[in-house]
Amino acid sequence: MALCFEVTPLLCSIATRSKFSLQEPRTSMGKRNDNVYAAGQAINAVVEAPVIRRSANFKPNLWDYDSIMSLTSDYTVDNLTVSYKDDEIGSLKMCLSEDVKGMLSLYEASYFGLEGEDFMDEAKAFTTRHLRDIKGNINPTLAKKVAHSLELPLHWRISRLETRWYIDTYESEDNMVALLLDLAKLDYNMVQATYQSEIKGLIRWWVDLGLCKLDFFKDRILEHYFWSLGMVPEQQFGRFRVGLAQDYANNCC
């Protein structure tokens, strides 16, 4: 019973006090540690200091949203496609089929259409039908380009292989510019030299690795490089091409 009478006042004291007063830190000799005490006071001052936010003083917006929403242009897709369509029948004008070069360009552009762009689908069907039915005397080089595009559109091909094909085709044109042709050949040879250097390093890595000697590994390092080249043909991305080809080689077993 005596224990109960002694504990109860202590519990009441704990329950009624809102906070405890911390004693001043002292050293082992009983003296106050001024450094620790000063640090504690500084922390309390920082915690209890009110947060004062500065005003950014932003200036009013210079743009009028209503004015921006009222902007118009005559060069939207809907406005441009109207000039290609016949008002009476609502389809593409038949006179477009007379311009073979322009129709070929429209055919190539139609493959960049996105889902829901009905005009691009209509242009693809229109140009494909008329390019296949070309009759009359046309330039042999242009006829070669038409047959080449109908076989496979331009941006579905590997760009560097297409470059070589177009250089040979452009060289046979009557209005060929010799300086432009020389620059194209120079660019092609420089990029080809980069590819050859990458292939040599890749083969050296493959032979030193020794995986080509294992029966369960496919020795197809050149095909793997060709895949990476088709994905990233730009000259400056050589390290990515080599790394991608190495990854293909390690995983295709």
Cβ count near 231 (within 10 Å): 11
Model confidence at 129, in pLDDT bands (50, 70, 90)? confident
Q: Domain 77-156 adopts which CATH fold? A: Glycosyltransferase (1.50.10)
Structure tokens belonging to residue 74: 């005559």
pLDDT of 137: 74
In angstroms and rounded to an integer, the radius of gyration of the C-alpha atoms of the chain is 39
Distance, CA of 79 to CA of 83 (rounded, Å): 7
Rounded to whole angstroms, the Cα distance separating 243 from 240 reads 5
C-alpha to C-alpha distance for 191 and 201, rounded to whole angstroms: 16
Euclidean distance between CA atoms 122 and 93, whole angstroms:
12
4 or 86: which leads in pLDDT: 86
Query: Distances in Å between the alpha carbon of 173 and those of 201, 242, 243?
Result: 39, 37, 40
Enumerate helices (H) and strands (E) in the chain, giving the number of each.
11, 0
Closest among 232, 156, 196, 234 to 248, alpha carbons compared = 232
Which pLDDT band, with edges at 50, 70 and 90, does 15 fall under? very low
Res 119: pLDDT: 80
Give the residue among 159, 151, 142, 74 at the shortest CA–CA distance from 103.
142
Query: Does the structure show a pLDDT above 70 at 64?
Result: yes
Give pLDDT tens digits for 219-231: 888 899 999 998 9
Q: Is the pLDDT of residue 1 over 50?
A: no
